[in-house]
């Protein structure tokens, strides 16, 4: 489904990603962990072309997307959920969710709202349809952001630390939504340090350090017995 | 014997007996204000957007426009159109000069307000829109500009107030506006400058004061509603402080 070949991303002199190759199968759930600045965000932002790789190639569904005019292929296939939610504050929850289906997928208002309510039900927030994002808690905002991402019905969903901006008591409600989502055939790449979540849903855990993938494996094997020294050090720090 | 005091009552009576003249001049000022504000808003929006373009040449064009008109006196623009352009066989009415000149001049300030407003929208909004597949243009139309307009309405209103006051530049080219009328009426008659200036000043005031007050009230409202922070609002206002 997603294939990165020798992807390098530089910001000026700084190399955020160096020669990363990665293959993610259709329907696979991949969790990415690693210390701050290791390039996790940059990696998933290169997949949906918010960042342009400096070198290397990205394929989605067999199609090369790191070329001119390929953005539409990415947008047809990838949705993204951000650490800071990024809901549109001037719109109601319902408008947030229906905007892209209506403007980009040319659905009628009725169709778009039908889809929106379906996903509002999924995240358990149907009664917030007419609220403004600013009236919602962080956890609720992130669940709406997930509903917004789902409403365009793409095959891939990327999460960049979806729970790390949340108060601790709100983390679980968002993780619950993501766990239930993982039961579906959608391809998920999740940057997160939530080990419980990773063990529960991930087919594979990827550990990044210094712009490179330094270890990957099944979650149980990885968390219990990481082979890489830096991965071991990192895990010892975050597991309390 | 008539009192020679500059604010003697008979001077006011004389003024009120000529109220039609002042009424007409007031309308000229309002018309020039309206036309030049419309032009300034259009120019400000266009150049404000150009200054955020990903193409360097557009950013340069916007920069040149802004710097040019922010760094010359408005009077130069008016005199240029009034005294210099006729030698190129371009004769403009004073009304046109007012609309064009003041529009161009304030368009530069409004452009900076628009630019600062767009820049104050968090990067995450652009990224969310981008990740959903919105083009630059539809991102602006559906997501960025609606938020920008809320934020920049108070500084835009302040610009409108400055613009209205600046229409008084027309007095220097016999533009028939309020300022011109006040001065020429007093000069050509009884030298009743004080009443003329007090009354026309009051007319400017009754237009500008409600606008300025409304801008402050709206600013307070959007800050309280959490749509913008006071610091952001201050930063946007500050870009036009060079005026
Ligand atoms: N737009 C940018 N301009 C310049 N440098 C950047 C940019 N984005 C990321 N970087 C740099 O690239 C490196 C990798 O950043 P990235 O955000 O991918 O790390 P991360 O693993 O997601 O970290 P975190 O856990 O803090 O989110 C960092 O050194 C960061 O400072
Ligand atoms: Mg990150």
Asked if A15 and A41 count as a contact pair (C-beta separation under 8 A), the reply is no
- Residue A104 sits at the chain B interface (C-beta within 8 Å): yes
**CA A82 to ligand 1 center in whole angstroms:** 14
For residue B82, what is the DSSP state?
I
Task: For residue B43, tell me if it sits in a domain.
Answer: yes
Report the distance separating Cα A98 and Cα A80, nearest Å.
16
What tokens does B116 get?
């600062």
Residue-wise burial string across B215-243, b where 16 or more C-beta atoms lie within 10 A, e elsewhere: beeebeebbeeebbeeebbeebbebbeee
pLDDT for B243 equals 53
Report the distance separating Cα A166 and Cα B103, nearest Å.
48
- Name the pLDDT band for A240 (thresholds 50, 70, 90): low
**Spatial CB neighbours of A62, under 8 Å, sequence gap ≥ 6:** none
Asked if B104 and B41 count as a contact pair (C-beta separation under 8 A), the reply is no
Average pLDDT over residues A45-57: 93
Query: Under DSSP, is residue A60 helix (H, G, I), strand (E, B) or coil?
Result: strand
Report the distance separating Cα A89 and Cα B227, nearest Å.
8
What tokens does A203 get?
């087919």
Selecting from A48, A76, A88 the residue whose C-beta is nearest the C-beta of B125 gives A88
| H/E stretch holding B161 | helix B145-166
Average pLDDT over residues B8-15: 86
**Spatial CB neighbours of A23, under 8 Å, sequence gap ≥ 6:** A2, A3, A4
Q: Whose CA is nearest to atom 6 of ligand 1?
A: A11
Neighbours of ion ligand 2 (CB under 5 A): A 41
Backbone angles phi, psi at A71, to 5 degrees: -55, -35
Residue in the structure block whose two tokens are 């993610």: A24
A3: closest CA of chain B, how far (Å): 19
What tokens does B118 get?
């767009």
- Name the pLDDT band for B227 (thresholds 50, 70, 90): confident
Task: For residue B212, tell me if it sits in a domain.
Answer: yes
pLDDT tens digits for B138-159?
Answer: 999 999 999 999 999 999 999 9
Task: For residue B127, tell me if it sits in a domain.
Answer: yes
| H/E stretch holding A5 | strand A2-11
Which CATH number is B199's domain given?
1.10.3720.10
Question: ipTM surpassing 0.85, yes or no?
Answer: yes
Domain that holds residue B26: 9-238
CA count, 13 A, side-chain hemisphere, B235: 13
Asked if B128 and A82 count as a contact pair (C-beta separation under 8 A), the reply is yes
Does A79 contact B138 at a Cβ distance shorter than 8 Å? no
Range from A235-239, B39-43, B231-235 carrying the lowest mean pLDDT:
A235-239
Task: For residue B56, tell me if it sits in a domain.
Answer: yes
For residue B54, what is the DSSP state?
S
Q: Whose CA is nearest to atom 24 of ligand 1?
A: A36
Closest CA to B85 of B101, B70, B71: B101
What tokens does A207 get?
């550990």
A88: closest CA of chain B, how far (Å): 7
**Spatial CB neighbours of A41, under 8 Å, sequence gap ≥ 6:** A160, A161, A191
**The total number of structural domains that make up chain B:** 1
Q: Are strands A212-217 and A204-209 parallel, antiparallel or unpaired?
A: antiparallel
Average pLDDT over residues B49-64: 95
Q: Which of residues 124-143 of A touch B (CB under 8 A)?
A: 134
pLDDT tens digits for A68-87?
Answer: 778 888 888 999 999 999 99
- Ligand 1: residues with CB < 6 A are A 11, 14, 16, 34, 36-42
Task: For residue B3, tell me if it sits in a domain.
Answer: no
Backbone angles phi, psi at B209, to 5 degrees: -60, -45
**CA A36 to ligand 2 center in whole angstroms:** 7
Average pLDDT over residues B172-186: 91
Task: For residue B158, tell me if it sits in a domain.
Answer: yes
- Residue that wins the pLDDT comparison between B8 and B106: B106
**CA A156 to ligand 1 center in whole angstroms:** 22
Selecting from B142, B225, B227 the residue whose C-beta is nearest the C-beta of A99 gives B142
Report the distance separating Cα B18 and Cα B25, nearest Å.
11
Angle formed at CA A90 by CA A113 and CA B39, multiple of 5 degrees = 120
Asked if B163 and B33 count as a contact pair (C-beta separation under 8 A), the reply is yes
A237: closest CA of chain B, how far (Å): 30
State chain B's maximal CA–CA distance in angstroms: 82
- The neighbouring-strand residues paired with A175 are none
Angle formed at CA A106 by CA A100 and CA A112, multiple of 5 degrees = 60
Task: For residue B4, tell me if it sits in a domain.
Answer: no
Task: For residue B101, tell me if it sits in a domain.
Answer: yes
First to last CA, chain A: 35
- Name the pLDDT band for B242 (thresholds 50, 70, 90): low
pLDDT tens digits for A172-230?
Answer: 999 999 999 999 999 999 999 999 999 999 999 999 999 999 999 999 999 998 999 99
**CA A190 to ligand 1 center in whole angstroms:** 16
Residues in chain A: 240
pLDDT tens digits for B91-118?
Answer: 999 999 999 999 999 999 999 999 999 9
Q: Whose CA is nearest to atom 1 of ligand 1?
A: A11
């Amino acid at each position: 489904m997603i294939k990165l070949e020798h992807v390098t991303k530089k910001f000026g002199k700084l190399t955020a990603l160096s020669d990363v190759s990665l293959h993610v199968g259709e329907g696979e759930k991949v969790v990415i962990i690693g210390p701050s600045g290791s390039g996790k965000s940059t990696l998933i932002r290169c997949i949906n072309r918010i960042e342009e790789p400096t070198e290397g190639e990205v394929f989605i569904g067999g199609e090369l997307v790191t070329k001119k005019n390929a953005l539409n292929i990415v947008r047809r296939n990838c949705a993204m959920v951000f650490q800071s939610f990024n809901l549109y504050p001037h719109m109601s929850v319902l408008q947030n969710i229906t905007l892209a289906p209506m403007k980009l997928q040319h659905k009628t208002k009725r169709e778009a709202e039908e889809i929106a309510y379906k996903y509002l039900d999924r995240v358990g927030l149907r009664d917030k349809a007419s609220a403004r994002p600013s009236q919602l808690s962080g956890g609720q905002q992130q669940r709406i952001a997930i509903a917004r991402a789902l409403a365009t019905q793409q095959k891939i969903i990327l999460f960049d630390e979806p729970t790390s901006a949340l108060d601790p008591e709100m983390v679980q409600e968002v993780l619950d939504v993501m766990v239930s989502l993982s039961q579906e055939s959608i391809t998920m790449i999740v940057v997160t340090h939530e080990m419980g979540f990773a063990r529960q849903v991930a087919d594979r855990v990827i550990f990044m350090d210094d712009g490179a993938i330094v270890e990957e494996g099944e979650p149980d094997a990885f968390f219990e017995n990481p082979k890489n020294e830096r991965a071991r050090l990192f895990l010892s720090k975050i597991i309390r | 014997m008539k009192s020679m005091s500059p604010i003697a009552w008979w001077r006011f009576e004389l003024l009120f007996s000529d109220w039609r003249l002042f009424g007409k001049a007031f309308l000229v000022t309002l018309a020039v204000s309206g036309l030049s504000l419309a032009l300034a808003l259009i120019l400000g929006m266009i150049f404000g957007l150009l200054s955020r373009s990903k193409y360097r040449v557009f950013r340069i064009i916007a920069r040149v426009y802004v710097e040019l008109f922010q760094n010359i006196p408005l009077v130069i623009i008016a005199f240029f159109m009034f005294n210099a352009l006729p030698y190129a066989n371009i004769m403009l009415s004073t009304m046109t000069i007012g609309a064009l000149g003041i529009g161009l001049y304030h368009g530069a300030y409004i452009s900076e307000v628009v630019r600062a407003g767009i820049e104050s929208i968090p990067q995450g909004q652009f990224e969310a829109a981008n990740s959903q597949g919105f083009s630059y243009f539809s991102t602006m139309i559906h997501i960025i500009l609606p938020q920008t307009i809320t934020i920049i309405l108070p500084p835009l209103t302040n610009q409108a107030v400055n613009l209205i006051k600046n229409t008084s530049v027309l007095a220097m080219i016999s533009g028939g506006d309020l300022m011109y009328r006040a001065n020429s009426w007093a000069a050509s008659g009884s030298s009743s400058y004080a009443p003329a200036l007090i009354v026309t000043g009051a007319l400017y005031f009754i237009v500008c004061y409600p606008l300025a007050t409304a801008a402050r009230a709206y600013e307070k409202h959007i800050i309280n509603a959490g749509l913008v922070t006071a610091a952001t609002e201050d930063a946007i206002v500050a870009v036009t402080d060079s005026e």
